A = this chain, B = another copy of it.
Amino acid sequence: MNIYDIAKEAGVSIATVSRVMNDSPKVSEKTKKKVQEIIEQAEYTPNIFAQGLGLNTMHTIGVLVPRISDAYMSSAVAFLEDDLNERGYGCILGCSGFSQAGKEAHVSMMLSKHIDALILVGSTYAGTGASEEETDYIRKAAAKTPVFIINGLVEGENVYCTASNDYQAAYDVTTGLIQNGRRSILFLTDSHSYSANQKRKGYEAALAYGNIPVDQALQLMVKNDIYKARDLLLSQKGISFDSVFATDDGLAVGAVKYAGETGRKIPEDIEIVGYNNSSLCICSNPELTSVDNCVSKVCEDTVERLIKVLDQQEPVSNQTIVGCSIAYRDTTSF
């Protein structure tokens, strides 16, 4: 008896059986009980279940991230796992690091594991845009299995990309700060990745639209670490700034600490905006305004398109852009 039989006998969808297995709160107690009873009656063994779920040789999706301890990536993986499990797919995950060799070796490893599709999480897989060779390994992999990229755009047959609209979000945040009368908006980032560059471009476009010259001295780069970001701002003697737009919440919290140490009142003397809308935003005091890049929506979109590609139901577009929103809190006067 496999998951399909159990679903049939219980008169529910495979997704519901999977939800019961994963203790999802979305299932009513009544349905949960019914499904569990059928599983028990069938003297269900996990081995058969795993086969039914397709975890052995089919219905397995490979998911690669560069670094799993990153909050954005671990939440993306959690959403993907959830969505894929609900559709009857299992996942195997790998962590590739950020080097070209590491990414290529791990993609090869994934392809050897009999996966039905490969999902690459994060703009690092799309390279820096310096040369097309950087992404050849993706097109090569796509000759064997469909490849889905989250938050990076790569052109190629059988390559499907979903990215959040970081350019627009950065443009909107910067415009909001300008409308609040800010003129010296510091751009704080930790990366030269595709998405970091999109954010920078949106920031610069908004400045241009507001007739504010782009000042390179107001674009700073630092490791994503609260204390390091704080110390970098404390050490800036030559420049003055009335607001900070950070490409990650950790950096923005560094700016909050900086304001605390220098006695600058938030948001009166200095406004601060973070990115990712992570748990740090609520932990911070004052609580942090942040761009919500809707990782759940991006993952949902990816899984929906993946299912369509595997089911060969209908043509699927190669690129989708998902809009971001802004979570307004106490570090801005928006």
Contact = CB atoms under 8 A, between A and B. Distances in A.
Interface in A272-324: 279-280, 282-285
Contacts of A253: 282-283
A212 B228 CA distance: 43
Interface in A67-103: 67-69, 71, 74-75, 77-78, 81, 85, 90-95, 97-99, 101-102
Given A55-B108, A93-B93, A107-B46, A23 B98 contact: yes
A50 B105 contact: yes
A74 to B, nearest CB: 4
Given A21-B101, A260-B285, 9 more contacts: A21-B97, A56-B109, A68-B74, A68-B93, A77-B95, A85-B97, A93-B94, A226-B283, A285-B285
B105 A21 contact: yes
Interface of A: 20-23, 39, 44, 46-47, 49-50, 53, 55-57, 67-69, 71, 74-75, 77-78, 81, 85, 90-95, 97-99, 101-102, 104-109, 112-113, 137, 226-227, 250, 253, 256, 260, 279-280, 282-285
Nearest to A78: B69
B46 A108 contact: yes
Nearest to A99: B23
Given A21-B102, A46-B101, A78 B56 contact: no
Contacts of A93: 68, 92-95
A279 B249 CA distance: 11
